């Protein structure tokens, strides 16, 4: 009989100290995995006494509540009781996974991925508007265009505020306080006062610092003029500062004054740091970059265009492109053309789109395919690259390598063929090829369409290279995606295991033999170094230390339980015996990367059919143990579960008998 998920969830929350004591909440195949702010507030005995709770385990900084097969359905009700983060903090002393660059990219992608739906939606609205205005269906000065464009551009204009929300959610800090820091960066008066292209606010005294115009805080501290709309660097750099500032303010504020003193101290610490130190970094470095690129272009123009095209996504990401705009304007005024911004951003933007298309073509994950197509269209047609950069390419890393390579080659070709931009035409994209129409009076080229023709060739080459490299380098397995596994069907299968429309059980008229799903060494369940499995809380069975990563069906039955993380699978035999195969210990934390399902939910399988494969070397390198429990989760329904004796076993050999 299924649990009362609502009642059980409320009892667990109360027993662990209330919703306010739960920092993060996730689940694996059989247990709730909580990170508590104060484990001392949790009443272990009260939790264990709740109907449906099999055991409580404290391990790796997590407070694990063992439920069994019904945990997925319980989790849906559990999440309704509080604003619980899914980003569990790492256990104290545990070394973060991956090298520093991978961790950095992972953090950035983790902060930007939650924004992807809004980023994609507004980006595609811009694509539609570009097409409508290009075809003459809509005027850029009409109210319809202005309202729709204002809505679409608002996301990118106020991106620092959105980042404040996502960074706070990811790091488990105050969402409103982080959002205020982001809002300050795009506050209208401050934008006007610090606009590097504008004259500033009337009555403000300006000076110069590090070769750039600045205002003065407290009359003496220089605040360099820089633009922060659409910028991600200041807020990402502020993430550790804001975390420290909030913790410090919380620590020094007396409880009776904390309600107002803590946020006040936080704002007084963070605001000067973001405007005086971290915010202007992009502008300062960008100013130096502009000087270097100008000197390089005067010496080797074709190489400069190629190099700048390849580097452009990182220049835009850090906000340094603002420093290149004055150089572009100066070139248009004095020379009549520009390549520093117009041409290089064209090559870069379309290749971001090409790389996204490559992921869309390669992936079997439906959501990623849809996102890749939308991101590619947004970048190539409208020149809106944020969805492609942050939602696909930087998120999976290798597509960004493809985009950089494609842009570099495309830029080199543009530089060698003499492609130039003669007017500013909005964000460079395929629709802005018309800006390459013109003739440079100092050049021997007299055909005004030379730039358009070669620009189109550069676009084809750039998109082709970035698409091909992305297609080759990207893989769902490396990205940790579920491929063509339907997660909605997985949820339905979990519901079936929880007792909702579950397969009808048949009484065992004779002992049933369960075969081994893997090849390896047998280990008694009591010797498995995990209290949940060793205690028999989830049921009786035996474990295998596998030597081969193939997992096959131990009997005829139906696939009734799967996980997005692909580290375990549940089978219901034709006579109702429920079998759980859990590959490795704590492998839920690997997010599916070393595992691949070869079946679908509700699929009928025969004994010996391949269920999933595991990269055992990858599991071991990630620091996880390979013990694979094979459990009869409804052991209480039977009189005896008798594992075989022996040391070694092969997949397909008799593993246990159910009576």
Say what the pLDDT of residue 94 is.
Answer: 42
- The candidate with the shortest Cα–Cα distance to 412, out of 339, 307, 289, is 307
- Region of poorest pLDDT, from 46-60, 174-188, 246-260, 262-276: 46-60
Give tens-digit pLDDT for 535-545. Answer: 887 889 999 99
**The predicted structure's pLDDT at residue 268:** 96
531 compared with 178, residue with greater pLDDT: 178
Coil, strand or helix at 524: strand
The residue-averaged pLDDT of 236-245 equals 92
- Name the percent of the chain in helix, strand, coil, to the closest 5: 50, 15, 35
CA gap 430, 527 in Å, rounded: 63
Of 387 and 266, the structure prediction assigns the larger pLDDT to 266
For residues 109-123, average pLDDT: 78
Contact 333, 416 (CB under 8 A): no
pLDDT number for residue 177: 94
Residue 601: the pLDDT is: 85
| CATH number belonging to domain 504-658 | 2.70.70.10
Per-residue pLDDT, averaged over 643-652, amounts to 90
Our CA angle for 29, 561, 585, nearest 5°, is: 30
pLDDT confidence band for 118 (50 / 70 / 90)? confident
CA angle 170, 173, 177 (to 5 degrees): 115
What 3-state DSSP class applies to 27? strand
CATH of domain 5-81: 3.30.1360.60
pLDDT, one tens digit per residue, over 419-449 is: 998 887 778 899 889 889 888 877 778 888 9
Mean pLDDT, the chain, rounded, equals 84
Separation between Cα atoms, residue 159 and residue 388, nearest integer Å: 15
Q: Are 424 and 472 in contact (CB under 8 A)?
A: no
Query: From residue 26, how far is each of 13, 31, 422 by CA, in Å?
Result: 13, 9, 55
Question: What does the pLDDT read at residue 483?
Answer: 46
Burial of residue 649, with CB atoms counted within 10 A of its CB: 0-12 exposed, 13-18 middle, 19 or more buried: buried
Task: List pLDDT tens digits, range 494-510.
Answer: 444 444 444 444 445 57
pLDDT at 643 exceeding the cut of 60: yes
Tell which residue, 316, 282, 287, has the closest CA to residue 407.
316
DSSP strands (E only) in 28-101: 31-36, 55-59, 62-66
What is the pTM assigned to this prediction? Answer: 0.54
Catalytic (active-site) positions: 28, 582
How far apart CA 553 and CA 609 sit, in angstroms, is 5
* 51-97 pLDDT tens trace: 888 888 876 567 888 887 778 788 888 888 887 766 544 444 444 54
Q: What is the pLDDT of residue 105?
A: 67
pLDDT of 529: 85
Residue 334 CA to residue 602 CA, distance in Å, equals: 69
What's the pLDDT tens digit per position in 511-541?
889 999 999 999 999 888 887 788 887 889 9
pLDDT at 405: 96
Q: Of the ranges 188-192, 312-316, 626-630, which one carries the lowest mean pLDDT score?
A: 312-316
Average pLDDT over residues 578-593: 88
Instruction: Assign 206 a pLDDT band (cuts: 50, 70, 90).
Output: very high
Please state the domain extents for the chain.
5-81, 285-479, 504-658
Asked whether the beta carbons of 53 and 119 are under 8 A apart, the reply is no
**Angstrom distance (rounded) from CA 257 to CA 34:** 30
Q: Using a CB cutoff of 8 Å and minimum separation of 24, what contacts does 446-453 make?
A: 450/418, 451/418, 451/419, 451/420, 451/421, 451/422
Cα 410-412-416 angle, rounded to 5 deg: 120
Provide mean pLDDT across the span 555-564. Answer: 88
């Amino acid at each position: 009989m299924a649990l009362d998920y609502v009642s059980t969830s409320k009892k667990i929350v109360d027993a662990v100290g209330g919703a306010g004591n739960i920092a993060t909440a996730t689940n694996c195949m059989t247990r709730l995995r909580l990170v508590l702010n104060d484990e001392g507030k949790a009443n272990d005995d009260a939790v264990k006494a709740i109907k449906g709770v099999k055991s409580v385990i404290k391990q790796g900084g997590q407070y694990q509540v063992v439920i069994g097969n019904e945990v997925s359905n319980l989790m849906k009700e559990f999440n309704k009781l509080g604003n619980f983060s899914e980003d569990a903090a790492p256990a104290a002393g545990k070394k973060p996974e991956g090298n520093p660059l991978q961790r950095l990219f992972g953090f950035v992608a983790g902060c930007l991925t939650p924004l992807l739906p809004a980023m994609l939606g507004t980006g595609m609205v811009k694509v539609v508007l570009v097409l409508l205005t290009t075809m003459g269906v809509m005027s850029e000065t009409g109210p319809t265009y202005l309202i729709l464009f204002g809505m679409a551009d608002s996301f990118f204009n106020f991106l620092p505020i959105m980042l404040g929300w996502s960074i706070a959610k990811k790091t488990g800090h105050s969402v409103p306080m982080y959002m205020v820091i982001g809002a300050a960066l795009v506050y209208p008066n401050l934008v006007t006062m610090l606009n590097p292209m504008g004259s500033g606010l009337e009555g403000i005294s300006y000076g110069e610092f590090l070769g750039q115009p600045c205002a003065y805080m407290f009359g003496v501290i220089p605040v360099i003029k820089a633009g922060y709309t659409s910028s991600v660097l200041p807020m990402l750099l502020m993430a550790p500062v804001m975390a420290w500032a909030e913790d410090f303010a919380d620590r020094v504020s007396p409880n009776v004054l904390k309600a107002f003193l803590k946020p006040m101290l936080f704002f007084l610490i963070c605001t000067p740091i973001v405007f005086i130190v971290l915010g202007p970094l992009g502008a300062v470095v960008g100013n130096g970059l502009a000087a270097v690129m100008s000197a390089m272009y005067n010496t080797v123009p074709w190489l400069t265009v190629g190099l700048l095209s390849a580097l452009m996504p990182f220049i835009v990401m850090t906000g340094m492109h603002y420093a290149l705009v004055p150089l572009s304007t100066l070139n248009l005024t004095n020379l009549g053309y520009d390549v520093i911004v117009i041409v290089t951003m064209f090559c870069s933007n379309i290749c971001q789109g090409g790389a996204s298309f490559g992921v869309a073509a390669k992936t079997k994950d439906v959501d990623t395919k849809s996102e890749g197509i939308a991101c590619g269209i947004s970048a190539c047609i409208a020149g809106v690259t944020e969805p492609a950069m942050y939602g696909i390419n930087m998120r999976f890393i290798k597509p960004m390598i493809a985009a950089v390579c494609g842009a570099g080659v495309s830029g080199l070709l543009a530089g060698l063929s003499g492609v130039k931009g003669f007017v500013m035409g909005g964000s460079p994209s395929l629709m802005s090829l018309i800006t390459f129409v013109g003739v440079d009076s100092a050049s021997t080229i007299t055909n005004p369409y030379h730039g358009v023709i070669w620009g189109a060739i550069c676009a084809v080459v750039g998109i082709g290279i970035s698409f091909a490299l992305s297609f080759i380098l990207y893989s769902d397995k490396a990205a940790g995606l579920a491929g063509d596994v339907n997660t909605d069907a997985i949820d339905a299968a979990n519901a079936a295991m929880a007792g909702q429309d579950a397969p009808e059980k048949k009484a065992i008229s004779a002992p049933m033999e369960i075969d081994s799903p893997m090849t390896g060494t047998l280990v008694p369940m009591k010797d498995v170094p995990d209290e949940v499995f060793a205690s028999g809380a989830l049921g009786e069975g035996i474990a295998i230390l596998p030597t081969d990563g193939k997992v096959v069906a131990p009997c005829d039955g139906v696939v009734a339980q799967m996980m997005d993380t692909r580290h375990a699978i549940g089978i219901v035999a034709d006579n109702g015996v429920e079998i759980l195969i859990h590959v490795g210990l704590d492998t839920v934390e690997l997010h599916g990367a070393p595992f691949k399902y070869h079946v679908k939910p509700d699929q009928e399988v025969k004994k010996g059919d391949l269920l999933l494969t595991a990269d055992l070397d990858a599991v071991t390198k990630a620091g996880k143990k390979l013990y694979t429990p094979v459990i009869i989760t409804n052991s209480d329904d039977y009189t005896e579960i008798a594992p075989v004796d022996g040391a070694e076993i092969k997949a397909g050999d008799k593993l246990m008998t159910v009576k």
